[in-house]
Amino acid sequence: MNTATFLKDLFDFIEQSPTPFHAASIMCRKLLSRGFQQLDEGAKWNLKQGNNYLVTRNGSLIAFSLGAMSAPASGFRIIGAHTDSPCLQIKPRIRENQSPYLVTGVEKYGGAILHTWFDRDLSLAGRVSCVAKKGDGRCLLIDFKDPVAYIPSLAMHLERTVNESLAVNVHNHLSPILAQGVDGNPLDLTTMLSQQITSQYPELEGASILGFELFCYDPAKPSMIGLNKDFIAAPRLDNLLSCHIGLEALCQAGESSNAMLIFTNHEEIGSTSSSGALGSFPDVILSRILGNTEEKSICLHHSFLLSLDNAHATHPNYRDKTDSDHMVLLNQGPVIKINASQRYATNTQSASLFRLIASEAGVKTQDFVMRSDMVCGSTIGPLSSAQLGIETVDAGVPSWGMHSVREVTGVTDPLLMYRTVCHYLNRSSLPRFSPTQD
């Protein structure tokens, strides 16, 4: 696959996935079109070696290929990632006393960099529960796509110290403005949602809305930037980029080994949910494949988790924020994330495996370690590794501006990681670096 094709598919995926629910749905459709069968958690399964399956749950997706040549007990090559990104979540009721404007309150979802949400066209997407005329309950994905919301800055003249210190109060300052009413009667949110349902699902016109999870997002298209187009700027690169790489790699994996994607929702808010990495979803699916038997324990022992989540590249304007002995550059290959406190699950064995796989694929790797006087972030790797006991490496594509509404990576980085992940899935067996005494 060449860079242009890969990036076009990535950009399409990002644009079609404003929320984790959309991302899971798009990935589900892609996998179905490539021969995967969708499983229902509420029905009995009849799995067969050599077949490919997927399951979704609340914005999470697990897909797996049962190798034709190897029993599940020989282990799964797993790729982990998360489907959610930091953003602003709309509250159920609109803000009062804002007449004639329709203004909604928001909650901060995850560790969003708040000031990046000012002064840009915003859209809304999420899911809405409603009852159709026949009394059937439905949960619909909706996406306004158009810029229907905006959060203007306060003018410089009204806050002269803004460039020295910008304190953003989510409750007071980040309420998106959606409309201006006529004669003091703005549209209400339910009417807007009903109109959107009718436009996307004409057959459901008149359905009664019972609830919604609605999020602001940046509808600006991903773009290639720089004099030589060295960089990619896009919303939600963390972590839709990793989801795209994992899914495309799984789709081209050979039939001999067992491979699995575990893409979970709610990483940005701690992963504790029915569909998060700390929830039951991965373990339930593994138990249904393997049974709660010794065979499952053997399988987990032989499995390996490549936990993909973007990594911090050294920022040219803030070099002192990263360890100068461990500089990470864009366009220089995947980053292995290391932390003494196991905020990343990488250990010497798992890092060595990843380095060897990458070098065999002709790809250089880099190491990220936090400055020793700063607190390190984390990802799903340590959580999944602790829950399942699987050997894990945390790795990711280098990026700038993580958790901004728009993030940046190198133009060659997605394909470099993709090549590495493809080799990880297709190598005849995984190299192991067993301890000499164990």
Using CB under 5 A, list all residues that contact Zn ion: 238-239, 309
In angstroms, give the least distance from the CB of 375 to Zn ion.
16
- Select 36 or 354, whichever has its Cβ closest to Zn ion: 354
- Select 266 or 423, whichever has its Cβ closest to Zn ion: 266
Structure tokens at 354: 């990843």
Residue (of 127, 23, 167, 1) closest to 82 by Cα position: 23
- Select 148 or 395, whichever has its Cβ closest to Zn ion: 395
- Select 344 or 424, whichever has its Cβ closest to Zn ion: 344
- Select 309 or 394, whichever has its Cβ closest to Zn ion: 309
- At 398, which helix (H) or strand (E)? strand 398-400
301 backbone dihedrals φ, ψ, rounded to 5°: -60, -40
426 backbone dihedrals φ, ψ, rounded to 5°: -100, -15
- Select 176 or 267, whichever has its Cβ closest to Zn ion: 267
In angstroms, give the least distance from the CB of 239 to Zn ion.
4
Respond yes or no on whether the N-terminal peptide bond of residue 292 is cis (omega within 30° of 0): no
- Select 302 or 337, whichever has its Cβ closest to Zn ion: 337
Dihedral sign, Cα of residue 109, residue 239, residue 302, residue 391: negative
Respond yes or no on whether the N-terminal peptide bond of residue 86 is cis (omega within 30° of 0): no
In angstroms, give the least distance from the CB of 316 to Zn ion.
22
The 3-state DSSP class for residue 412 equals: coil
- Select 126 or 381, whichever has its Cβ closest to Zn ion: 381
Residue 23 contacts residue 125 (beta carbons within 8 Å): no
**Distance spanning both ends of the chain, measured CA to CA:** 42
In angstroms, give the least distance from the CB of 311 to Zn ion.
9
In angstroms, give the least distance from the CB of 54 to Zn ion.
22
- In the numeric block, the tokens 């589900």 are attached to 28
- Select 61 or 300, whichever has its Cβ closest to Zn ion: 61
Question: Would you give the DSSP letter of residue 150?
Answer: B
In angstroms, give the least distance from the CB of 20 to Zn ion.
12
Q: For residue 428, how far is the Cα from the chain centroid? A: 29
In angstroms, give the least distance from the CB of 238 to Zn ion.
4
What CA–CA distance (Å, rounded) separates 188 from 117? 23
Task: Collect contacts of 89-96 with beta carbons under 8 A, ≥24 apart.
Answer: 89/213, 89/214, 89/215, 89/216, 90/124, 90/126, 90/176, 90/189, 90/212, 90/214, 90/215, 90/216, 92/211, 92/212, 93/189, 94/188, 94/189, 95/175
In angstroms, give the least distance from the CB of 18 to Zn ion.
16
In angstroms, give the least distance from the CB of 333 to Zn ion.
19
What CA–CA distance (Å, rounded) separates 210 from 214? 13
- Select 239 or 332, whichever has its Cβ closest to Zn ion: 239
What CA–CA distance (Å, rounded) separates 287 from 388? 11
Dihedral sign, Cα of residue 372, residue 384, residue 139, residue 246: positive
In angstroms, give the least distance from the CB of 24 to Zn ion.
16
